[in-house]
Amino acid sequence: MANPLQFIQQTRTEIGKVAWPTRREVLLTTVMVFVMAAITAIFFALVDLLIRSGLTGLLGLFG
């Protein structure tokens, strides 16, 4: 087991090797997440509406 100072030094070295995203990349990725979440929400709302309408119609025939 390495001593704590070596561990900290190795950790800092490894952090320096990380390819950190640019501000633009973070912004674009964040916008894409919000867009995809909105598209998914709209899709599931439409599916829910279709299922609800179908079941209401089907139950209306037998009820």
CA separation for the pair 14, 37 (Å, rounded):
34
Residue 56 sits in which domain range?
A: 21-62
Is residue 63 over pLDDT 80? Answer: no
Q: What is the reported pLDDT for 62?
A: 85
Residue 31 counted as domain residue: yes
The secondary structure of the chain in percent helix, strand, coil, rounded to multiples of 5, reads 85, 0, 15
- The 3-state DSSP class for residue 43 equals helix
Instruction: State the Cα–Cα distance between residues 38 and 32, nearest whole angstrom.
Output: 10
Residue 49 in domain? yes
pLDDT at 1 (0 to 100): 61
For residue 45, is it within any domain? yes
pLDDT beyond 70 at 22: yes
Taking only the tens place, the pLDDT of each residue in 23-39 is: 999 999 999 999 999 99
**Total domains present in the chain:** 1
